[in-house]
Structure 1
Amino acid sequence: MCLLAGCKGSEPTEYETGLENLKKQEYTQAIENFQNAISEGGHGVQSWRGIGIAWTEQGIFDKAQEAFTTALGLTERSEKALKTDLYFYLADALYHQGEYQKCVETCEELLKLQKKKDAYFLRGSAYLHMDEYKKAHSDFSRVVSGSDDYEDYLDVYKVYKSCDLNADGSAYLESALEIKAKSAEDSYNEGRVYYYLEEYEKAEKMLKKAWKEEYAPALVYLGKVYLDAGEPQKASDIYQKCLQQKGLEAEGYNGLAYCSVKQEDYTGALSYVEKGLKEKDKEVQQALLFNEIVIYEKQKDFATAKTKMQEYLKQYPADEEAVRENYFLQTR
C-alpha cells in the first residue's frame, strides 16, 4: 500500500493526459501530449486520431487531414470500427477544405465498411457543392428516410442554404413538420423549422410552448424570431431572460449585442460582447468574436476591425464568411 508518496505508475501517461486536455478543449496542450505519446512508442493510431481531432476543433483542417491519414496508415485490416471512425473524420476534413471529390471518394471507402447515415450526409453535401444535384438528393433521401430526428432535416436544409438553394432545402423542412411533436424539445425543434421557413407566428407559438414546458434553449430562437420579425425590443426582453438561465448567459449577451446593433447602439453592443466573452462559453465564443468585428466596422473603426479580424482568423481560419469579410476590410 502507498501512503502520501505516489506509487510508481500512478501518474497518467502522456496519452491519457492528452485525452483529458482534449476533453477540456485545451487543444495545443493535447497535441503536445499526443506527440509525446507517439515519441514514446505508445498508442500510435489513437494518438494520431487525437491530434487530428484537436486540429479539427480548431478549424485547421489540412493538419487534421495529415493526422487522420497517418492514423489510417497505421490501422490493421481487422480494426473495422476504428477505420470507420477515421475515414469519417478524414472525409469531414476534406469537405471543409473544399476537396469535394476526395471527400466523396473517402465517404465511399467509409460506406464499404458501414452504411452510416453521417457518411451519406457528408457525401451528399459534397455532391451538392459539385452541382451533382441528383446524387446529392439521393444521399440526403437516405439521411431523412424514416427519420424522426429534426436535426437530420435541419442539417440538410442548411447545406442547401449554404449553396444558395433555399427553396430546395425548404422541401426538407416541410417534411420535418410531418414529425409528431411529443415533448418540449420537439416543440422547440418544430419552432426552429418554422423559423427557417420564415413562418414567424407559428415559430413563436411552438417556441413559447417549449419555454412554457421549461425547455430553456427555446428562448434563444424566440429571440431570433423577434429580431428577424423586426421587433428588437421583444427580442431584448427574451435575451434578458437568457441571462437568468444557467448555460445560456453567453447566448443572452450575444443576442443583446444584436439588439443593440439593430438600434445603432454600438457602444452598448460592444459592452454586451465583452460580457459574453467573460462567460468563456466555447460554443458561443466564435459568434461573439465575429460580431465584435462587425460592430467595429459599423462604427467605421476599420483599424480595430482589421486587427480583431487577424486575431479571429488565427483561431478560425476555415470561416469562409470571415475570409470574405477580411477581403472587404483590406479595401477600407
Structure 2
Amino acid sequence: MILKKVLILLLAGMFLLSGCGSSAGLIAEAGKKLEAEEYEEAEDIYAQVVETGRYVSEGYRGMGICQIAQGMYADACISFEKALLYVESQSADYTKDVELYLAYCRQHHGEGDKAMEIYDGIIARDADPDVLYLRGKLYMDMGKTSEASEDFDRAATLSNDYDLFINIYEVYASHDKKGDGSSFLEKALQIVSDSDKNYYNKGLVHYYLQNYEESKTNLISALDEDPSDGKSILLLGRVYLSMGLTADARAMFNEHILNGSNAASAYNGLAMCDMEEKNYESALSNIEAGLALGDAEADRGLMYNRIIVYEHLKDWNSAKAQAAAFVQKYPTDEAGMRENEFLSTR
C-alpha cells in the first residue's frame, strides 16, 4: 500500500462485516459520506461506531482517515493510536494498514523520527517493498541519501511493479537527483515494454528519459484508444512544450476543447502553454474557464496551476488564498503543501 492513495483504501472493501447489527450499518453509512467527501459527517458517524462498542478499532481508523482528509494530522495520530490499542481479532494486514496511516500522519505532523520507528518495526517483521519505498522517501526528505538509496535498491529487488519504480524516480527527481533515479526508469520501461499496450505508461517513462519522439508516439496511441484520457492529453502537451512545439500543443488542446473530450484538462494545457510564454493573465483566464466546467478530475491540476500563476504575477495575497483553498480541498497533496508552506513566508 503506497499512501498516495490514502483515502481510497477505506472504500475498497475493508469492512467486510456480517452479523454486526447497527455497527455494520453505521460503517456503511460513513463509507458513503466519505466517498461523497462529506468528511465531518463521516467522522461523526465513525464516532458513533466507537460508541456502540463493536468494531471500535475500525471506528477509530475511519475517524483517522476523515481527519487526514481535513488536514487534522494531530487528531488523526490520536485516532490511529486508539485504533491500534483496540485491535483484537483483526488480521496482521489490518494492523499494518493502521500503522502505515499512523506513520503517514506522523510525517505530516512534523514527527519524522516517530514515523521512522513505525516503518522500522514493520520492515523488521516483513520486508514489504512498498514500505521500503516509504521509508526511503522519508530518509530522502531527512537528507539521508545513502540510507534512502539502500531502501530503494532493496525494494527494487523485491518488486516488479511499474508504479513503484516510477515513484522512486519521482522522489529522486523532487530532490534534484534525476540521474540517480534514471536506473529505476529503465526498470519501469522494461516492465511496460513487455506489453503492446500501456501506451500512457510508456509515454511517461520516455518523457522522463527525455526520449520525446518515443513519448509522443505512445501518447498519440493512447489518445487514439481513448480521446478523453486527461492524463495523456496533458502529458502529450508537456512533450510538445519540451520539444519547443508550443503551437502544436495549443492546436491539440484547442481540438479537445472543440470536440468536448476532456475540455477541462485541455484548458489546463492551454494555461501551461501560456505559462511557457509568460502570458500569465491568459493562463489565469484559461484556468478559470477550465474550473467553470466542474470537472472534479481536472480541478486539482487547474487549482494548483492557479497558485503558480499568481506567484508569477507576484500577487502574493491571491496566491496565499488559493494555496489555502487548495490544501483545504486536497490536504494530502504534497506539492500543494509545499506551495502553501512557501507562501506562508511571503
TM-score range, shorter chain: 0.7 to 0.9
Asked whether the 8 Å contact 2:130–2:164 carries over to 1, the reply is: no
Question: For residues 110 and 167 of structure 2, what CA distance do their matches in structure 1 show?
Answer: 18
> Residues 268-295 of structure 1, C-alpha deviation per residue, up to 9 Å, x if partnerless?
3233222332444444433322322332
TM-score of the two chains, using structure 1 as the length reference: 0.83
The DSSP-based 3-state class of the residue aligned with 1:151 is helix
The yes-or-no answer on 1:155 pairing with 2:172 is: no
Q: How many residues align?
A: 320
Question: For residues 130 and 11 of structure 1, what CA distance do their matches in structure 2 show?
Answer: 41
> Residues 183-227 of structure 1, C-alpha deviation per residue, up to 9 Å, x if partnerless?
465232121112122232222222223333447342221111112
Q: Which residue of 1 aligns with 2:286?
A: 272
The DSSP-based 3-state class of the residue aligned with 1:178 is helix
Q: Which residue of 2 aligns with 1:28?
A: 40
Q: Which runs of structure 2 are paired with 1:154-173 in the superposition (5 Å)?
A: 154-173=166-185
Q: Which residue of 1 aligns with 2:18?
A: none
Aligned-pair Cα RMSD in Å: 3.0
Q: Which residue of 1 aligns with 2:250?
A: 236
Match 2:151 to one of 118, 136, 139: 139
The 1:149–1:65 alpha-carbon spacing in structure 2 relative to 1, beyond 3 Å, is same
Q: Which residue of 1 aligns with 2:115?
A: 103
Question: For residues 230 and 66 of structure 1, what CA distance do their matches in structure 2 show?
Answer: 50
Q: Name structure 2 gaps, 5 residues minimum.
A: 1-20
Question: For residues 239 and 59 of structure 1, what CA distance do their matches in structure 2 show?
Answer: 34
The yes-or-no answer on 1:219 pairing with 2:236 is: no
Question: For residues 128 and 310 of structure 1, what CA distance do their matches in structure 2 show?
Answer: 26
The DSSP-based 3-state class of the residue aligned with 1:164 is coil
Match 2:188 to one of 164, 173, 176: 176
Question: For residues 57 and 167 of structure 2, what CA distance do their matches in structure 1 show?
Answer: 31
Bigger shift: 115-124 or 306-315?
Answer: 306-315
Question: For residues 197 and 160 of structure 2, what CA distance do their matches in structure 1 show?
Answer: 13
Asked whether the 8 Å contact 1:220–1:242 carries over to 2, the reply is: no
The 1:12–1:75 alpha-carbon spacing in structure 2 relative to 1, beyond 3 Å, is closer
The DSSP-based 3-state class of the residue aligned with 2:132 is helix
The DSSP-based 3-state class of the residue aligned with 1:177 is helix
TM-score of the two chains, using structure 2 as the length reference: 0.80
> Residues 10-56 of structure 1, C-alpha deviation per residue, up to 9 Å, x if partnerless?
99843321111112222222112212332343432112111222233
Bigger shift: 211-220 or 252-261?
Answer: 211-220
Question: For residues 229 and 98 of structure 1, what CA distance do their matches in structure 2 show?
Answer: 40
Q: Which residue of 2 aligns with 1:291?
A: 305
Q: Name structure 1 gaps, 5 residues minimum.
A: 1-8
Bigger shift: 237-246 or 14-23?
Answer: 237-246
